[in-house]
Structure 1
Amino acid sequence: MSKKITIAIDGFSSTGKSTLAKQLAKEIGYVYVDTGAMYRAVTFFAMQNGFVDNTKFDKESLINSLSHVNLKFVYNPDLGFGEMYLNDVNVEKEIRTIEVSNFVSKIAEVSQVRAKLVEQQKEMGKGKGIVMDGRDIGTVVFPDAELKIFMTASPEVRAKRRFDELKEKGQNVTFDEVLKNVQERDYIDTHREDSPLVKAIDAIEIDNSNLSREEQFQKVLQLAKITSKSL
């Protein structure tokens, strides 16, 4: 890598954005930021405090409590990436459940939540040399990013990947439940008023429905090297 750049990876849920971004950042020596973990942590905070459940969403109480939400990534050398801490407590495991997944898109719709997290994300990327994944990185957080990737795959393929991942972690879920979650998140993410999920005009789209992780990784790694050298 010749010159440090900003790499923005956006896309639909369960397309493997985080896995790819972690692997890429480690390979090229960049900082990795999982913005999805930040929204999941706020969602977990809302669930802990009874602001959201299957029957209600107390948006105002969440907004009024945002000053009490402190997020940070703490690097874990054994894992090779930073884990999510909410108010100084490691919540990396807790935020990856299907329960959190069921509410995270709803929480991410709240403009005040997005404003708080986008501000932090922009600060993290000021020095470049960063790989950040999410839903609006190339359109809102880093519209001037030198390399933008937009990842997609069919809902059924993404649901199968997510289902296998959750079962491996010992969670009691059905494929239909996971597929419904994927489809609902797609709808909310692409239809919200504030920063909807859209492909940036200058983003390179990768449909990984039929790509292995290694094939996808090599493809993006080459794009990163070419982009860096061209500057």
Structure 2
Amino acid sequence: MTTHAVMPPESTKTPVPVIAIDGPTASGKGTIAHRVAAALGWATLDSGALYRLTALAALDRSLSADDEAGVAEVARALDVRFYGGRIFLENNEVSDAIRQEQVGNFASRIAAYPAVRQALLERQRVFRVPPGLVADGRDMGTVVFPDAALKVFLVADVQARAERRCKQLIEKGISANLDDLLRDMRERDARDTQRSVAPLVAATDAHVLDSSSLTIEQTVQAVLDFWKGT
């Protein structure tokens, strides 16, 4: 008698686990996400890079940040590649270029547009591959991966964040002014938290972690401890 294997229904399949790390700009979520992923042997998603790449491509085309339709079209057609820790836009490495403050401010403005967010939503979800994904951004746990196995909302005092960003830029040879960074960061926080679509907010089931007085190693360990406890 011939027997046939019975496949489980789609709804019973266990989804690839996701650790979602959200938080305001310069809270250290990118660094923490990469180190947590390295410790677990998982993939990473820097969602902010996709918005910065969209911003850089729009700036290269001389588009205005007020042109929602034009920027959304750029997002849909984005020719981007992540390879070995480097980021390429239309075959040009832009790993450092997307970290410029001008690009970051443009990205913060266009991130409020529903059409841009929708254009990048599915691009982000394809990063969810076995054995797991650590995703960082501003709406990973609330919108992109609402079923994430672990959600962490990483916060830090705005002064501490501005000082971190200033140090990062100077180490990369980019001129930076702390007062300007502090002002820009407060404005960006206001835009991110007050926008009508996918505002920056901790998911109801997220662990809120204040890294103001923690080292990178301590913050990474805290996230790993959260994971062990899931």
TM-score (normalizing by structure 1): 0.88
2:81 match: secondary structure: strand
Question: Which residue in the other structure is 1:226 paired with?
Answer: 229
Aligned pairs, how many? Answer: 216
Aligned pair 1:23/2:26, yes or no?
A: no
Q: Which runs of 5+ in 1 are unaligned?
A: 77-81
| Alignment RMSD (CA, Å) | 1.7
Q: Which runs of 5+ in 2 are unaligned?
A: 1-14
1:120 match: secondary structure: helix
Deviations 1:71-97 (A, max 9, x none): 3322x1xxxxx3322233221111011
Cα gap change, 1:12/1:67 in structure 2, threshold over 3 Å: closer, same or farther? closer
Partner Cα distance (1:222, 1:65) in 2: 40
What is the letter of the counterpart of residue 154 of structure 1?
D
Q: How does 1:129-168 map to 2 (within 5 A)?
A: 129-168=132-171
Deviations 1:116-156 (A, max 9, x none): 11111122215460000000000001111110000111111
Question: Which residue in the other structure is 1:48 paired with?
Answer: 60
1:124 match: secondary structure: coil
Partner Cα distance (1:107, 1:128) in 2: 32
**Identical columns (%):** 39
Aligned pair 1:10/2:22, yes or no?
A: yes
Q: Which moved more, 1:110-119 or 1:196-205?
A: 110-119
Partner Cα distance (1:11, 1:68) in 2: 27
Report the CA distance between 1:185 and its aligned residue.
0.8
Aligned pair 1:192/2:192, yes or no?
A: no
Partner Cα distance (1:66, 1:6) in 2: 24
1:145 match: secondary structure: coil
Partner Cα distance (1:189, 1:175) in 2: 21
Q: How does 1:63-102 map to 2 (within 5 A)?
A: 63-74=72-83, 76=84, 82-102=85-105
Question: Which residue in the other structure is 1:122 paired with?
Answer: 125
Cα gap change, 1:68/1:212 in structure 2, threshold over 3 Å: closer, same or farther? same
Question: Which residue in the other structure is 2:47 paired with?
Answer: 35
What is the letter of the counterpart of residue 67 of structure 2?
D
Question: Which residue in the other structure is 2:10 paired with?
Answer: none
1:33 match: secondary structure: strand
Partner Cα distance (1:63, 1:115) in 2: 9
Report the CA distance between 1:173 and its aligned residue.
1.8
Instruction: Give the conservation status (yes or no) of the 8 Å contact 1:38–1:84.
Output: no
Instruction: Give the conservation status (yes or no) of the 8 Å contact 1:6–1:128.
Output: no
What is the letter of the counterpart of residue 208 of structure 2?
E
Partner Cα distance (1:103, 1:16) in 2: 20
Cα gap change, 1:67/1:4 in structure 2, threshold over 3 Å: closer, same or farther? closer
